[in-house]
Amino acid sequence: MFERLPSNWMLALKSIGYWLWLIPVLGIPLSYYWSLGSEQADAWAWLVVGIVFGVIPLLDFIVGRDPANPDEAEQVPQLEQQGYYRFLSLCTVPALLAMLGWAGWVFVHYQAWSWVGQLGWLLSVGTVTGAIGITVAHEFIHKDSRLEQNAGGLLLAAVCYAGFKVEHVRGHHVHVSTPEDASSSRYGQSLYAFLPHAYKHNFLNAWKLEAERLKRRGLPALHWRNELISWYAISALMLLGFGLALGWLGALFFIVQSLIAFTLLEIVNYVEHYGLHRRKLDNGRYERTNPSHSWNSNFLLTNLFLFHLQRHSDHHAYAKRRYQVLRHFDDSPQLPNGYAGMIVLALIPPLWRAVMDPRVRAYYAGEEHQLTDSQLLPR
């Protein structure tokens, strides 16, 4: 639909389109208000889940792809210096935290929902804190400014996944698409085999990396400068706040939405690197990360919702690039749909393998031995 628009037009359109993140965030209160007095109150609680994983994958096909890349010489320096894009992403922080607190109050006090409606509400809120909150946190933790680092940490604390702040930058980006990385899924590995190891690795490797950083400074792991202690303490304070304000149901709400949010993150990790790996060189090291080591998805609509997260190939090759200047590479391995659709597919392993395994094999055509090597499970 937009593939023939001039690049300048697309960049202008996207500068406004990034505000689409407001739709799922505002969808939470809207679904509550539309359920008031409705005979289908339980169904309204599932509204955001239904739109994200039902409607958006179809719209991705209808809206189509985005071929526009900013000009490296002129547009990229200008776009990176514009405070508008940083302001836009920072606006998500108060909006998401306010939504989370209000949604907890509704979960505890709204009587029209049965357990079905409550489940839909938890899944909807967790989808928003995961898809929008963790995506923006991911953008922030790759930046150098203290404001963005703290904003990213706060959003991750709100879903009890502070380890991602350390492990993703210092672990995943170093070892991506190698057997050493638990966040890079193997060819033939199901989502349900991938998730438990990813959960465990995120916490343990984050702690190991932070302990090593402190050791180099002559400090013990249990020190106030250990940022994991600080961020997990904030998560504990949030949990305590929900418990004191809303009782045990409020605490349960906070824990379950966190579980849903960081599970969504790890499913996205599964999708982003499935079956792809870096070759080991003769010197025993792995080749440098390049755009061929991540799946790319250039569907416009979901890229706007997710701040160009789907241009993941460029992100891994150049991790410091801001979301507004991430590029599409035609020669990167390409997903057949946006992340929303691919997440649904990943939840059904036979369908996932039927769609994705031929693409992996085609990508390694002539080097099929690489597929055998890639099945080595991460440590």
Q: For residues 192-204, give the mean pLDDT.
A: 93
pLDDT, greater one: 373 or 203:
203
Q: What is the pLDDT of residue 372?
A: 63
Q: What is the pLDDT of residue 42?
A: 96
Given a cut of 90, whether residue 256 has pLDDT beyond it is: yes
Q: For residues 260-273, give the mean pLDDT.
A: 96
Query: 3-state DSSP call for residue 275?
Result: coil
| pTM, to two decimals | 0.93
- Of all helices (H) and strands (E), which one includes residue 93? helix 92-109
Between CA 270 and CA 251 the distance in angstroms is 29
Read off the pLDDT of residues 329-351 as tens digits, 9 standing for 90 and up.
888 899 999 999 999 999 999 99
Given a cut of 90, whether residue 10 has pLDDT beyond it is: no
pLDDT, greater one: 3 or 126:
126
Between CA 192 and CA 278 the distance in angstroms is 23
Q: Supply φ then ψ for residue 181, to 5 degrees.
A: -110, 115
CA torsion through residues 178, 359, 346, 58, sign: positive
Q: What is the pLDDT of residue 74?
A: 87
Given a cut of 60, whether residue 376 has pLDDT beyond it is: no
Read off the pLDDT of residues 267-325 as tens digits, 9 standing for 90 and up.
999 999 999 988 878 887 888 888 888 899 999 999 999 999 999 888 988 888 999 99
Given a cut of 70, whether residue 379 has pLDDT beyond it is: no
Between CA 363 and CA 75 the distance in angstroms is 32
Q: At what angle do helices 146-157 and 92-109 cross, to 10 degrees?
A: 20
Read off the pLDDT of residues 146-165 as tens digits, 9 standing for 90 and up.
999 999 999 999 999 999 99
Pull the structure tokens for residue 314.
């460029």
Q: Which of 187, 347, 344, 355 shows the shortest CA–CA distance to 273?
A: 187
Q: What is the pLDDT of the chain when averaged over all its residues?
A: 92
> Residue for token digits 């993703």?
168
Given a cut of 80, whether residue 375 has pLDDT beyond it is: no
Q: What is the pLDDT of residue 378?
A: 47
Side chain identity at residue 371, one-letter code:
L
